[in-house]
């Protein structure tokens, strides 16, 4: 059992789920420390029947902290993570800031847990859209080696924060009433709309979110030959990201074999009965940890390609749950 674990960004949406997960999964720690910005310092949050006081995020706050899980914007992570590492804390960081640094492992525990021990004080957790995709890819890659993935994402507004969710709710009400609604979080109105841009423009016409899916996937699998073509779209859904996948393999896989492989993979649930209108949907995946897969079928344009659909709660396996799983592996190694 470790002495102290800290949650950085404890008052945010993901930070609250991390805290709930630590309690429900009975994480082996004597103490949990909650850290956040100065304006949140002093807030009291209930945790497993105890009242925890949120502390200000400072370098001194990491003294005697063995593991920290950070859920903060990139610029905050860039500042606090070196403080923590300097104090001897191992940081599981959910921001994008450190993910592609060569000496920072990028981890999904079901896929590459052996890379955790390569850390030098920092372990990165991938982008939420990448995480659910690679969970689907892993058993198929092991069986038939994936050459290429075409992915279109349908990403919920919760991925852009609590204010974005509120903007969707207000925008839907305004749209229903025929009233004007000025977007503040998004570049366009999200209510009754789709926005085919998540992140900033990058070279070649891709967005930063799309580039993340390419680079992070290749790093997680340690294979730069896997091709990924991503189109990332924000949709007027509150929680849980959806993805349409076309996966091309070296060896042919039947839909039945892919379904069997996915059903046997930890953290993946297959729900695939088109005749009964049964398949994964965001409203069913919200609040659950698994990645849900359905609509598994042959790509009729290519003999070695399968098409499928997956849905996952982006705040859980896409963020909080994955980070807690990494911390659990770390705790075992520390004991």
Question: Edge-to-edge strand order for the sheet containing 268-270?
Answer: 227-234, 146-155, 241-249, 305-312, 291-298, 268-270
38 neighbors 59 (Cβ within 8 angstroms) = no
Report the C-alpha gap between 327 and 233 in whole angstroms.
31
Helices (H), 127-265: 128-144, 162-177, 208-221, 255-263
User: In the chain, which residue ranges form alpha helices assigned H by DSSP?
Assistant: 13-24, 74-86, 128-144, 162-177, 208-221, 255-263, 282-285, 321-334
User: 158: closest CA among 326, 321, 316, 40?
Assistant: 316
User: Which residue in the block uniquely carries the two structure tokens 């009291």?
Assistant: 44
Catalytic, 241? Answer yes
Distance of alpha carbon 212 from alpha carbon 219, whole angstroms: 10
H/E segment holding residue 270: strand 268-270
Please check whether residue 316 is in contact with residue 289, taking contact to mean a CB–CB distance below 8 angstroms: yes
Catalytic residue status for 3: no
For residue 325, give the nearest of 299, 300, 289 by alpha carbon.
289
The residue annotated as part of the active site, out of 97, 119, 141, 241, is 241
**Cα gap 26→223, rounded to integer Å:** 35
List 97, 119, 128, 232, catalytic entry: 128
From the list 218, 264, 245, the residue with the least C-alpha distance to 132 is 245
List the one residue out of 203, 213, 204 whose CA is nearest residue 233. 213
- Do the beta carbons of residue 262 and residue 268 sit within 8 Å? yes
Catalytic machinery residues: 128, 241
């Amino acid at each position: 059992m470790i002495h102290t674990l800290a949650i950085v960004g404890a008052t945010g949406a993901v930070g609250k789920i991390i805290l709930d997960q630590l309690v429900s999964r009975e994480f082996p720690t004597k103490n949990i420390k909650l850290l956040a910005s100065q304006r949140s310092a002093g807030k009291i949050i209930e945790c497993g029947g105890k009242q925890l006081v949120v502390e200000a995020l400072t370098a001194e706050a990491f003294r005697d902290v063995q593991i920290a899980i950070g859920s903060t914007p990139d610029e905050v992570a860039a500042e606090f993570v070196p403080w923590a590492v300097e104090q001897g804390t191992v940081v599981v960081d959910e921001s994008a800031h450190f993910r592609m640094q060569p000496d920072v492992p990028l981890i999904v525990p079901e896929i590459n847990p052996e890379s955790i021990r390569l850390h030098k004080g920092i372990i990165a957790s991938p982008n939420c859209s990448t995480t659910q995709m690679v969970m689907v890819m892993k058993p198929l890659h092991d069986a038939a080696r994936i050459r290429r993935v075409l992915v279109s994402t349908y990403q919920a507004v919760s991925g852009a924060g609590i204010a974005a969710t509120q903007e969707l709710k207000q925008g839907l009400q305004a749209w229903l009433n025929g009233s004007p609604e000025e977007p503040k979080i998004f570049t366009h109105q999200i209510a009754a709309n789709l926005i085919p841009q998540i992140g900033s423009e990058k070279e070649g016409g891709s967005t930063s979110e799309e580039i993340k899916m390419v680079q992070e996937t290749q790093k997680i699998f340690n294979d730069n030959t896997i091709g990924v073509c991503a189109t990332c779209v924000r949709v007027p859904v509150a929680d849980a990201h959806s993805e349409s996948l076309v996966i091309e393999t070296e060896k042919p896989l039947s839909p039945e074999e892919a379904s069997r492989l996915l059903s046997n993979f930890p953290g993946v649930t297959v729900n695939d009965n088109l005749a009964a209108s049964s398949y994964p949907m965001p409203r069913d995946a919200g609040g659950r940890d698994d990645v849900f897969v359905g609509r598994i079928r042959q790509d009729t344009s290519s003999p070695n390609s399968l098409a499928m659909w997956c849905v996952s709660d982006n705040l859980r396996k896409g963020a909080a749950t994955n980070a807690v799983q990494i911390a659990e592996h770390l705790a075992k190694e520390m004991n």
